[in-house]
Structure 1
Amino acid sequence: MRQYSNAIYWLENLLFFWGGLTLILVIGGESLLVPAWVQVMGRLHPLILHFPLVILLLAVGVVWFGDINWRSQTKNLLLLGANLAGMTVVAGLILATEDYDGDSLNWHKWLGIISLFLSIGIYFLSKKSIKALKFSSSALAVILVMAGHFGANLTHGEDFLFEPLLAKETEEVTLQEAEVFAHMVQPILESKCVACHKEGKIKGELRLDLISGIQKGGKSGPFVVAGDPSASLFFKRIHLPLEDKEHMPPKNKTQLTEEEMEILEQWVTEGADFDQKVKDLASDTPLFQLASQRFSSETSYSFEAASPEKVEKLNNFFRKVKPIYPGSPALEVAYFGSSAFDPNSLNELKSVQNQIVKVNLNRMPLKGVNLDVLNGLSHLEELQLNFSEVSSSQLKKLEGNPSLRRLAISGNSLGPEILPVLESFLNLTHLYFWQSALTEEEQNQLSAALPGVAIDFGFDASQVVYQLNPPKIEYDQLMFEDEIKVTIKHPIPSVQIRYTLDQTEPDSLNSNLYSGPFSIDETSTIRTKAFAAEWIGSEEDQVVLFKKGKSPKSWNLITLPNPKYKANGASTLFDGIKGKANHTSGEWLGYSEQALELEIFLEENQSPKELKIGLLLHEGAYIFPPAEAEFWVGNIQGWKKLESHPLLVSEKIKEPRFDLLSQHLPEEDFDRIKVKLSPIQRLPFWHPGAGAKGWVFVDEIYLY
């Protein structure tokens, strides 16, 4: 009993300690220099905060619903809960001296402090009337719940507690509507960065939940430098090694994908614009290509759909009316058969005039036809009037249509009188005007008058420059003993055929000029192109021809290939049989989960000068060049690592093909060689399987 009384005595005195320490931290916390070991105590706050919550709320429950026997334990629960609350509040105030700030922090802090002093007060006044105790304990319960709510906001984001109750509609964004920052960049920041850089928790003085914070940057530098990713803080941090403490996100957090890193980098490269729309990007830019994979090109519409019965009634043998894509309220109309065209049938479109966005009247006889009904299509975006004998006066009636973006009027006899009419179409984005009666000067005048419109005047075939077909390399077999004859052919005898044997790309000036069949006596990569005056040089044809090498004394395949691609085991590498350009042919060793490691033991006085490895490349099947190639030479005394060289990097998906990996061997005594080829661990962002593991496929090793 005495020990129990001593414990109560000490716990009651601890309440004054916690209260006093809390006041000291509240008053002078910002000016205090907190040692590292004290910071560790502060970071216990999230661990211990659940104990006082449970115990104090249990005490409140006993006050309200417990019988007389249970209520006798209320004071003990309040004493224990108040002490734990004191520990939690002190730890929280220490933790708050780190990178935390904002309204959520202030609410959480002050509600926590109030709950501490209120629980202490309730404890010492617990012998007062049960009515007063119920009122004060109820107030404590409300404050504890509110403090927990704002604490959850700090760690899990705003409205974490009530998020399941808040209905959020997923925003469907099309390519035309998408904004680069709002719909591509900001979602990445919110999912991977904002948790540590937001209101309430601003690590490194960097806030990423506001545009102004992104523009301001942090204490270590600017988050983004427009046009220069390498000078931007985010670029430096995401490319640090994962184990580096400055790497972002921290290694215990979900990391950025290759695609996400590419989006951030390209956004900065394009100028880090916060308002730019995807549609304003050049279509050949990497950022636009990434966007086109994310957003639908199908425009969304807010107007109501016409009834299916009404649409079906408009369909007949000379007219087709249908949604522009399944489920869309927007309709497209197309007319067929000029001999059956009835101009009055245009008036029938009035029944769905609020849903039509596209009309095709190509080759319909519209000469003199009243087109007023088209001007009444309030959502009309595209109008095709090619080869329809339409006149400038008819087109003038359409100039007031607010939605018309694309107009096709090719093949009509429209001269200079059309210029002022087209200049009045202020909302146009595309104009198709092939085979017009405009002179080149008038075309230039129209282009100048409509600077924001993409105008297609067709082309002059006499000015077109065509590309040559590639030459064809002919040979007897892929692998030869001493030498092999090579012939290169092209269907146009007058072209120049250029070729190289040193793996460089052929050009029209410096590369070898093909004059007839030639022989090669060593393993070679033959690359060839065709050139001719007033023609674009051809694409390349390429082949690797392999000369059989010297056979080693023995070998040891340290790591085994994938069981699906094991061929004949280690002997596959030295059997003198060249595999087909097909990874499923059963002639290749394939590695993905681990590197290929091989030891080669040489005959006495063999002394090869070069080692070559035959590879298969097929990006579509995830087969890439090795990410890393390491070579050693050695003897009984040990191994010496050779200098590595830059490796081939795949930049796009190509057809299956052979390649060679070469390594020069040193002029010194060695009787063994060690090889290690590591497959790529993450396929690049441009690959359909981005992020997946790649493969290395090997079939022959040659010693020369």
Structure 2
Amino acid sequence: MMKKNQLHIQIIGSLLMLLQALMIVMSLVSLQGIPLWLQQLGHLHPVLLHLPISFIILLLPLSIIFKKGTEQERLLISYFLHYTALFATITALMGLLSAASNEYDPDLLTKHKWLSIATAVLSHALVYIHQISLHKRTAWISSVTATVMLMFVGSHFGGSLTHGEDYLSFGEKENKSKEFKPITDSTVVYNDVVQTILINKCIECHNEQKQKGGLDLTSFASFQKGGKTGNAFIIGDPEQSLFIQRALLTIDDRKHMPPKGKLQLTSEEIFLFKEWTRKKADTLLTFHQIDQADTLRSIIEKIVNTKSIEKTVNQYPFSKASDDKIQSLNSPFRRIMPVDIHSPALVVKFYLKEKFSIQLLEECSAIAKQVIEINLSSMPADDGIFKHLSKFENLEKLNLNGTLISGKELSALKSNKKLESIYLANTSVGKNDLEVIGKLPSVKSVYLWNSKVTDKEAVALNQKYNQIKWDIGYVPDEKELLKLTPPSTVNAEKMILDPGELVQLKHPLPGAQIRYTIDGSAPDSMNGLLYSKPFSISGLTQINAIAVSNGWLSSNPSTFTYFLKGAKADSAVIINKPADRYRANGSIALIDFNKGTPTNLNLNWLGFRDETMKAAFHFSHPIQIKQAVLSIADNTGAYVFPPQKIIVKGGNSKSSLRVIGTVSPVQPIQQRNAGIIPVTVQLAPGIYPYVEIEAINVQRLPNWHPGKKEKAWVFVDEVFFY
């Protein structure tokens, strides 16, 4: 029996040595090119890791219990140590395969990887330490304690990778959710609405530390950059935007996002993403700039102002309505939805005003106890609905926006003892009708936009019934100075001009003046050229412009970079291939006089990362050139930097090239807004039938950048010769 046990231990020991040798090799080489099925094995890592953690934790009590050192005890501990080391090694191997997906923060991943490998190696070393420490219990206990501590530190970084940096902290954890801010004219759609939804429903799995699918949603640039499967969205084209396509898949689809079991996007939130994308995903778009009749405006109001009150199951004294009952009431014109997947509380929403009838509301009396919100917005409901609302004893929110009610029957709401919010926008309700609402003890807010209630009457209501928020929407201050919008160009897409072609600026406010500069300085209300008519440019020109007018604050500056057509190459050849995703129209993209935009790198841009940008240009009828200008994208959030160096060579042919100009562009020192940088290379004046340009991308991003030590991208959309 003893020989059999020894043989068993020797086999495990040999297997351990092989696996640990494999583990060390795998940790030192890149695994990014391994087959997908091997990466899938890495999914076993979170399943297996609980075994070695449990075994290592048990080592301390076992060492205290088995302290006599009998042959049987030592054999049992030996078995335990071998299997602990075996599971720790296999878990580390699975972790290395999982890390090949490149979805995690590189710094945290490096710490977790090497601490886990060290834990596996030290757990194996404990086998031999145990054999020589029969009479040295202090050394043995110290070794076990060190292994336990090493395991805990490694586990901390592992937990931080998958659950956030404070996962194993013992203090009170920060609540990462974000509340919607009240809507004002200055509400920025991206920052205040889109980003709030992403933080609450998506960023848990798509942040700087944890990037499932290679997607980071913490900034606009990283959001637009997308992940492994491509750009998250296509500006102006929601139907082709991957982010929206994934959200619209059925919840059981493996590619549906957010995945099943996570908090889902509502239909309104998906609609918001679609309309925002359709409006060119403008990060500066404000609520004030959206037309009153625009659907996007109403959907934002719905998401922000009618967000359901979140209550857990235990906060409601009633039980759930049966699924069959809810299903029987659902129709294309009436939708019954739970407030939350775990809550018995229900929301009733009506659709298509041509199909609305009081009977649709009456039928909901079968679930009256569970209904906490009724939304009749834009339905042709009149005062006749109030006698039916009394049946909904737990009603908390009532939306009557845009209905036909007169307000004369609002007193019927006295029977709704739990009613907190009433929406009466775009109705005929007046101040006198609201006196009865002011006396209802449960009501906390009443929304009266575009109703018959005047500003002064709203103030009077707030003074008389100050326990209620009487909201009539945005009320402009007559003394407030508003800021002008920045000036724009007549043709915003035309940034490349023919010699003599004119630049035209415009502003929508009649009487507003435009002041501009072309020397790089910043204009103000007194300084700068006064725009009076279109003007021409003599070469590469950056125009800074602001709008000014009496009674208004000056606008923020607009910057327009204009390129002048120069000597046109007859052909261009890409020597180093661009990335598959960013090939534009091939080499013709460099000389077709079609400019790209820095916020949509999929259109007109050639992108390089693994190789430098290198291209050749041929002139059948060359003329003297003194400059080469490269139009470069600048988008630090998407890892797009100016080149580290640009080298221009010229000659009569490919075999007779010599360096005729170089430049090292200034590099950014912090994150900055996306833009286009024209980089000018001064050349030795001459006639060159053949020109070769190489733009060397930054090989290691700076330490201030979240992708530090990774390669930067270089994007070029046009090359000019003067």
What TM-score comes out, normalization by structure 2 length?
Answer: 0.49
Considering only CA atoms, is the larger Rg found in Structure 1 or Structure 2? 1
TM-score, length basis structure 1: 0.50
